[in-house]
Each structure stands twice: as C-alpha cells, then as structure tokens.
Homo-oligomer: A and B are copies of this chain.
Amino acid sequence: TGDKANGRTLVYTCNGCHGIPGTNNAYPQYPVPKIAGQNEQYIISALHEYKSGDRTHPTMMAQAQSLSDQEIEDIAAYLSSIAAK
C-alpha cells in the first residue's frame, strides 16, 4: 500500500513539468499530461512501464528508473488522493 505522505514528498520532482497542483509546466508547448487525481493503478502501471522501457520517454524513463516499487506506490497513492485540476 502506498504512503501518501511520502508520495507527497516524492512528487516534488514531478512539478517542473506536470505542474502539480496547477497545469502550468516549464514547457507549455510540450504535451505533458495532467496527473493530479489520476487513477492510482494507472499511475503505478505507467511508472512501471517507463521503468522497464515498455513505454518510452527519455525524461520519464530516467525518473522511473530512480524509483523503487514502494516509491511508485507512494506517488500513486498521493496523486490519486488529490483533486483533479
């Protein structure tokens, strides 16, 4: 089970592009998905796909490869618990 409090800390690094809790991001012309309020299992699945390379995106692969399975669950627990923006 994911630890929301730890997830809240971990998502600090996501903010630059995903712009939690707003929708702004550093590259407004780049199609960065909104992730606040996203489905918990989808977030877990997506991060594992990036970690394994089944889903490819240079930045997200690097980020996911730095995360443990528990950290992925923590991030998903937090993001799915907050309101969609």
The one of B32, B41, B85 that contacts A84, using a Cβ cutoff of 8 Å: B85
Return chain B residues, CB-CB under 8 Å to A29.
41
Output the nearest chain B residue to A29 by Cβ-Cβ distance: B41
The one of B33, B54, B55 that contacts A38, using a Cβ cutoff of 8 Å: B33
In the assembled complex, 13 residue pairs joining A and B whose CB atoms fall closer than 8 Å, in A order, are: A23-B39, A30-B41, A31-B41, A31-B43, A31-B44, A31-B46, A33-B38, A33-B42, A34-B38, A34-B84, A37-B84, A54-B56, A84-B85
Instruction: Answer yes or no: A63 CB below 8 A from chain B CBs.
Output: no
Return chain B residues, CB-CB under 8 Å to A55.
55
Instruction: Answer yes or no: A9 CB below 8 A from chain B CBs.
Output: no
